[in-house]
Each structure stands twice: as C-alpha cells, then as structure tokens.
Structure 1
Amino acid sequence: DILNHWAKDDIQFMVNRGLLAGTNDVSFSPDAAVSRGTLAAILGRMANADISGYTKSSFTDVKKDAYYMGYVEWVNTKDIMNGKTSAAFVPDSAITREEMALILFNYTKVMKMNLPAIYAENIFADASKISAESADAVKQLQMAGILAGKSENRFDPQGIVTRAEVSAVIHRFIKLTMNGTLDQGWTQNDAGQWMYFENGTAVKNQIKNIDGKDYKFDIFGIATDISASKPQADTPEKNKETYTVKSGDCFWSIARMFNVDMYTLAVSNGKTLSTIIYPGEILIIPQQ
C-alpha cells in the first residue's frame, strides 16, 4: 500500500532500519495516525536506548507486555515525552504536528544535539494557531529542515500526524544528524508536494529553469506542474541508480558489487571512506 505513495522512500527507510514496522504482513497503512506509544518506540529505537531495566510500567494504561512499554518508560524518564497525567500515558492517542515538534525538540536537547539553521525562518500562514509551548520547537525544526509546511504555507499545528508523515520527518532528522546538513534543491513538504530551495529559501511565484526544464512555482513555493505522487526518479538527482545499504555492507563491498570506484562512490554521496554507513541508508551509485 505504499507503491505510489509520496513517502515511499521515507517509509522504506524506516522499515529497513527497524524504526517502524507495518501494521500487518502486507500493509503499512501510511495514512493512519501515529499513536503516542508508537512515537515513543520510534524515538527509543532511534536512540538505541537500553530498555532492559524497565520491567514495570509507571502508567495504568500501558500494559507490561506492550511492545512500547520500555520505550514509554524511557521517554518519560528522560522528559522527552511525559504522560497526559501522572497515572495515564494514553498510548493509543494520536499525535498532533505541534506535539511532534515539541517532542522531537525535547529529544534533541536530551541527546545534546545542536540544530543548525539551514533554511530561512518561515512564518507560516497559521502561525497564530501554534501553541506558545510549541512555537520555538516548530521554528527550530523548520529552520533545520526537519519539519516543513503543507499547502498554502500552513503548518497545521493541530493536524494529526500520519505514519507516512512521521516517516518523512524522522528520515530528514536522521539524515541531518548523520551528515550534518540536508540537501537543498528539490524537496517535498509535509504534504508530499515538491518545492525547490536555493540558499535556504524556497523558489516562489515564478517559472524557473532547472537542469534544462521549466518549472512553475506558486506564491507558496509549490511546483504546480509536479504532483505529490510523482516518482522521485523524475527529479534530476533521483535519475541515478541507488542502493539501500544492508547489514554488513561497506564502501568496498558495494563498490565491488556495482563495479565502481570506491572513492568515487563515497564522494558521490557526500562522504569519505571513513564515514560509517548504516543499514537502510540509500546511496547513489555513480554512473560509469
């Protein structure tokens, strides 16, 4: 059910890294809501948190045998994500976009991560609807390129986060923390619409020639002639062959597999030969 979804690559990244599984053996349910328990598990797995010491739940509504029990204890202990009350975590409740922003921002502070300002600050059209508690988190994560807007430059702070949306956000987060930066140029917002960034600012309200093709951008920076479900291979960067890193892979083994130069492989992906590559990471294979 993700074959033609705009977040297909993001979802595959999450599944490959063991951060988020399908809802059953054949479905991912990309447009279903993300629950508080699931987000706790994602963050704990992302941090490689040791939850072996958590054998009892602090909350009456989190069962001892729930897959997220240890992760709920971890995020609560670290003050990344607390219960709705002292007794209830409400693990099945859906997460809103502003809640996700605040929780991720808390995670960066606990993990001692400094978020870079890669993009210019964007004043969302519905900024007045963002709670005071979450406003700074939204700003910092937007400027770091982790969170983006939706149609008509809305942030949609009370909107429910979907499994596809959290996959895209966490994928950006991991790319940023692994590489120290995010590619600009073509990128998708949190509704899967294509935008183009130059020097941290979206191209808006013009027709721009990019790699020999004209694209029309509306006043909000959305490329109006590219649909949200358009395959990423249609953008210049994505035309190149790619490979998803598997456990045990290294630059030497992948270069040998594709009969390419190991150094060129690393440089083509903005890395050095000493850079660690992780299962689930997508590498561009340089063309001969």
Structure 2
Amino acid sequence: MFLTKRIVILLVGILFVLSINGAMVSASSNNYLPYENTEAGRNSNAYLPTSNPSRGDRENFINEISGYAKEASAKWGIPASAIIGMAAVESGYGTTRIAVNANNIFGIKIWGTNPSQGWQLKGQPDEDNGTVTVLSDFGVDRVIYDEAQRVDNWYRMFSSRQEAVDYLAGTFLQNQRYGFAKTNYASNLKKGWSSERASKQYIYEIANAGYNHLGGESYRNVVGQVMAEWNLYEHDENTFKDIHGHWAQKEIEFLMEKGWIDGYPDGTFKPNASLTRAHAAKILSNFLGLTHTIEPIHFKDVPSSFWGHDSVILVAQHKLMNGTGSDQFSPNKNMTRAQMAQVFYNAGFYSQSAENHMSSFTDVHNGHWAHIAIETIRQEGIMAGYGDGRFGVNDSISRAQLAAVMYRLDQKGWNQN
C-alpha cells in the first residue's frame, strides 16, 4: 500500500485539535522525536500539520490546486473535484510535514531503504507489520526506531505541488489497481450522473481498492465534505454537454442525480428530442421502482435482447402502458402528450379523478379516449395546455418536458419509489 495509514487522522477534525494545542503545532514543526518531547514527539504526531491554516490559507490552497487539477483532469480523465478534495484532506491544506518538506500533498509512499526521490518521515509508527527495529521504548506511542534501516516511512518527493497532482492523476491512479474507477467515472457521466454523484463514487471505488484503509464509505464522506464546502464540482465538466442554459436544466439535473434518467453514450441528453415509448417505460419504471409480477407478458416487437425489454414488461404488468395492438408495443414510436397524460392517470397521480364535464381544451372532445385522464392531470397541475387553448394531444412529448413533469410529480410527493 503506497499511502500512509495514518494520514487520514486529518479527516476527523485535526485542524480543531491544532487550534486548541499550540504546543503540538510548534513541536510538530520542529520534527520532534519521542525522546525529545514527551507529547509532541509521540509517534502518531508525526503525521500532524506544521501549522494551523487560516480560512484564507485554505482558500489559497484550494485555488492553487484547482488550476492544476483541471488541467490534469482534461489530460487523464480523473475528476478534478476528487483531486482537489483529496489534496486538501491528505495534506491538511498543504501543512503536513510530508507536504511541507516534499510537496507530497497526497501521502504517496515509496517503499524501500533510502529510495531515490524519497523523503523520510522519521518517528512515524511502524507500518511494516512490526518488522522495524526498535532501539528504545519510552511507552505507548513513544517508540524510538532504527530510522536508517526503515522501508515503511519514505514518501515520494516532488519539485512542486503541480508535479504531485500530475503524478497522482497521470501515473498513480492510472495503474491496474485504480484504473477501473476512471472508466466507471466516464461511464457514469455518460449515463447522466451529476458531477457530484460521479465524483463521490470515484472516491468510493479507489478507497475500496486500497487507496485509503478506512474504506470507501468513510473516505467518500470525508472527502465529500470538503468538496461540498468549497463547491469543487464546479471544476468538473457538466454531466450533459447539451443542457447548459436549457429551460429544464434544473429538472434534468435533479432527475439524473436521482438515477431516474440516463443520457446517451456521447455525453448528451438531447433534451429537445422526442421521447420514445421505450424510453418513457424505462424512466417510469426507474421513477416508481417497479418490480416484476407473475403475469406473463410478451410483445412481438420487444425481444429479450432489446435494451428496454425489462422496463417495457414492467410498465405493462403494472397496467401503466398498454400495447398498440396485435401483441405490439411499438417501442420506438414517439410518446404523445395524450398518451403521457393517460400513463400518469393510470399510475394514480391524482387525489380525485375529474368528472366527465366539458373539456378545458379545444382539441380534446368529451368522447376522446384520454379525456378524463387529461382533465385529471390538468387539475392536479401536472400537465398544462398551450396558450392557444389546445392540449396538443397528438404532439410528441420531448425528453425535457417529461423531466419537468417528473420533477413536479416528485415535488408533489407522488413518487412512490
């Protein structure tokens, strides 16, 4: 394992500890060993920062690393927000002895005796399974080791913080152990995950693969707090290339964060594209968390190899969407606004069904097959008509329009998932 096991002490409030213990800060900056200072020389204190950075110091550190991280992300595909958050956490905003003396802001180790490009953190606890020679023992956490023969407390030395970022993103995280996480990160973005969700998942995966000994859940939470505090996700690319400034951007981002909608392999969402019946089935089944029933259903035009097969069967089993006749579902046909209103009605997204009175829309006569559904959904404020008095029964509903409607449903508490 290349990273120190103790550097994560920083994650649980180390700056607070430093602020109430001035002696500890001073001693750590002088690199005391156990026999030189009974408190500051303790082995576990070897990892502590050399100073207590102010808010301004931390902000300056974030700003500096952000520039390096964005460039590295563009070159090697590692989320910039993760790089910045990890640097802040692992280095105490650039104040650990490793960061100060070796520009090593990630705690990357080099195992070996006096390795080239290495800097030794003397006095740290034995991380080589008890094999380090003990010269003297002054009690708990105050052990004197034979530093000349150690292989477990050497850290890679960098000429600058930028070099450290480039090594992490371009070399260390590209190896066989962690490379899979970058592939998953890119895939998750293409599926429509938000920058926050995808970056946190990346942190989780590399930690579970061995980057951090506390495990994925813990490391994701700690680094995630730093990423949220400084809004580091703004340094990542937008999840969908084509929704910036779109009228439904907020709604689309909300739904993809929930995992209810996906994008296309090219990183787009295509918000203005018409929604197909298969895509509608998938989104609805995700939104409602549908599970299969025992009812056997088969459509001739939806073979088991079709990408949306399970979703189509689910919505049909739950009577949300019907076939189009002769055992057909017509998965690639566009979803009309009338069909969508009927689906929402079938799903029970209303408190009271509308009465069969005069239609509110010029293009929906009283005998229209979706009249009751349209009127009910209108009175619930889920779907509205156009300014010219029409509902647009035969108009195709766009992907953005469905996202907006789904968002309203969730805000109204209609999501049953």
TM-score by length of 2: 0.38
RCO higher in 1 or 2 (8 Å CA, sep ≥ 6)? 1
Picking from 259, 263, 283, the partner of 1:22 is: 263
* Alignment check: 8 A CA contact 1:57 1:63 kept: no
Matched, 1:11 2:252: yes
Give the Cα separation in 2 of the matches to 1:24 and 1:141.
33
Matched, 1:90 2:330: yes
How many positions carry a matched residue from both structures?
172
Q: Which residue in 2 is equivalent to 1:275?
A: none
CA–CA separation in structure 1 for the residues paired with 2:303 and 2:364: 38
Q: Distance in 2 between matches of 1:31 and 1:131?
A: 31
Aligned to 1:135: 371
Task: Specify whether residues 114 and 30 from structure 1 end up closer, same or farther in structure 2 by C-alpha distance, changes over 3 A only.
Answer: closer
Where does the alignment leave 5 or more consecutive residues of structure 2 unmatched? 1-241
CA separation of 1:125/1:57 partners in 2, compared to 1, >3 Å: closer, same or farther? closer
The alpha-carbon deviation at position 114 of structure 1 amounts to: 4.2
- Show the counterpart of 2:276: 35
2-side partners of 1:33 and 1:82: how far apart? 19
CA contact 1:35–1:95 (8 Å) conserved in 2: yes
Structure 1 residue 78, shift from structure 2 partner: 2.0
Alignment partners' CA distance in 1, 2:251 and 2:401: 9
Matching residue within 40, 55, 59 for 2:299:
59
Letter in structure 2 aligned against 1:82: N
Tell me which protein shows more helix as a share of its residues. 2
CA deviations over 1:148-198 (Å, ceiling 9, x no partner) = 12233331111100000111111111211259xxxxxxxxxxxxxxxxxxx
| TM-fit CA distance, 1:128 | 3.6
CA contact (8 A) 2:297 2:316 kept: no
Amino acid in the other structure paired with 1:42? I
* Residue 3 (structure 1) shift: 0.9
2:383 counterpart SS class: coil
1:125-154 deviation digits (Å, cap 9, x = unpaired): 424468621111111111111101223333
Alignment match, 2:179: none
Match of 1:169 among 405, 414, 417: 405
Residue identity in the other structure for 2:405: V
Structure 1, residues 96-136: CA drift from partner, whole Å, max 9, x if none? 1011101111111xxxx54269xxx9964424468621111
Matched, 1:49 2:290: yes
Code of the residue aligned with 1:76 in structure 2: it is: A
RMSD: 2.8
- Which amino acid is 2:362 matched to? D
| Aligned partners of 2:361 and 2:391 also within 8 Å | yes
Percent identity over the alignment?
27
Larger radius of gyration: 2
Change (3 A) 1:85 1:5: same
- The amino acid of 1:16's aligned partner reads E
Query: Hey, what's the Cα distance between the residues in 2 that align with 1:80 and 1:22?
Result: 23
Structure with bigger strand share is 1
- Name 1:99's counterpart in structure 2: 339
**1:69 positional shift:** 1.0
- Alpha carbons of 1:126 and 1:44: their partners in 2 closer, same or farther (altered >3 Å)? same
Q: What pairs up with 1:106-125 in 2 under 5 angstroms? A: 106-108=346-348, 114-115=350-351, 124-125=360-361
**Structure 2 residue aligned with 1:150:** 386
Measure, in 1, the Cα distance between the counterparts of 2:392 and 2:358: 14
Does the CA contact (< 8 Å) of 2:255 and 2:403 recur in 1? yes
1:60–1:126 CA distance, 2 compared to 1 (3 A): same
Question: Is the CA contact 2:293–2:317 (under 8 Å) kept in the aligned structure 1?
Answer: no
Amino acid at match of 1:67: W
CA distance in 2, matches of 1:15, 1:138: 27
C-alpha displacement of 1:63? 2.4
Taking structure 1 as the reference length, what is the TM-score of the superposition? 0.53
1:153 partner letter:
G
Aligned equivalents of 2:366 and 2:272: distance in 1?
Answer: 23
